């Protein structure tokens, strides 16, 4: 009986170790998949990239920020665009030698010039302090924008080059008594889940490079 008890305990320990290894392998597989997606072909105007890892996350109504383990020692600079495999994430707000703080496009203090891919309408996407929502507060009532429209960077504002995915319009409501439409959109980047980000450099002479506001 003592021998059987010892064997059962040994088997239970081995089973726990195997489960732990399986969880680790699954996490590594997800991480490798994310890294492969970051290396997928990018627009030709982007001439250099740098992968960074998220160190800490602050997602609140007042602040939508990430701390990344890349800084001036890696060539990162203030106001540099940061993206993921799915689209625009934000830009560098503060940078130190070995880390940088990213202000996300969903931060209430962030405004991003965008363009409706279908109609060419240009406007501004503003954060509201929620990781899954943007608002477009300056769209006239009769503008050509509707639910399902894809939003991309317009290239204006001097930070983000033209044509990077930003968000999808999820609500487009119009009140005849108001002069502006009520437009909401969901970012294409997985702001709450992405562990790795991509700092990008682009060719300033490219036609799609970021221009002045």
User: Is residue 117 classed as helix, strand or coil in its secondary structure?
Assistant: coil
- Rounded CA separation 11/32 (Å): 31
Residue 211 scores a pLDDT above 80: no
| pLDDT score for 15 | 77
| Tens digits of residue pLDDT in 156-167 | 888 898 889 999
Which pair of structure tokens corresponds to residue 95?
A: 């940078």
Helix, coil or strand: residue 198 = strand
Nearest to 106 by CA among 88, 71, 83, 131: 131
What's the rounded Cα separation, in Å, for the pair 128 and 142? Answer: 24
Cα–Cα distance measured from residue 48 to residue 12, given in angstroms and rounded to the nearest whole number: 50
Mean pLDDT on 15-34: 64
pLDDT tens digits for range 72-129? 999 999 999 999 888 999 999 999 999 999 999 999 999 999 999 999 999 999 999 9
User: From CA 27, how far away is CA 19, in angstroms rounded?
Assistant: 12
């Amino acid at each position: 009986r003592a021998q059987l008890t010892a064997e059962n305990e040994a088997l239970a320990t081995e089973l726990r170790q195997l489960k732990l290894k399986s969880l680790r392998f699954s996490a590594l597989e997800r991480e490798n998949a994310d890294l492969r997606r970051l290396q997928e072909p990018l627009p030709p105007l982007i001439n250099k990239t740098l992968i960074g890892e998220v160190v800490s996350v602050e997602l609140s109504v007042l602040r939508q920020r990430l701390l990344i383990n890349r800084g001036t020692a890696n060539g990162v600079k203030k106001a540099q665009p940061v993206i993921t495999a799915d689209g625009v994430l934000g830009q560098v707000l503060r940078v130190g030698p070995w880390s940088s703080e990213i202000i996300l496009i969903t931060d209430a203090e962030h405004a991003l010039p965008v363009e409706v891919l279908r109609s060419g309408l240009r406007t501004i996407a503003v954060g509201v302090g929620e990781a899954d929502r943007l608002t477009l507060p300056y769209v006239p009532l009769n503008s050509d924008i509707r639910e399902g429209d894809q939003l991309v960077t317009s290239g204006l504002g001097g930070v983000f080059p033209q044509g990077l995915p930003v968000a999808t319009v999820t609500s487009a409501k119009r009140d005849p008594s108001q002069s502006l439409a009520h437009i909401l959109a969901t970012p294409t980047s997985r702001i709450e889940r992405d562990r790795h980000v991509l700092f990008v450099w682009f060719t300033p002479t490219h036609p799609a490079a970021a221009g002045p506001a």
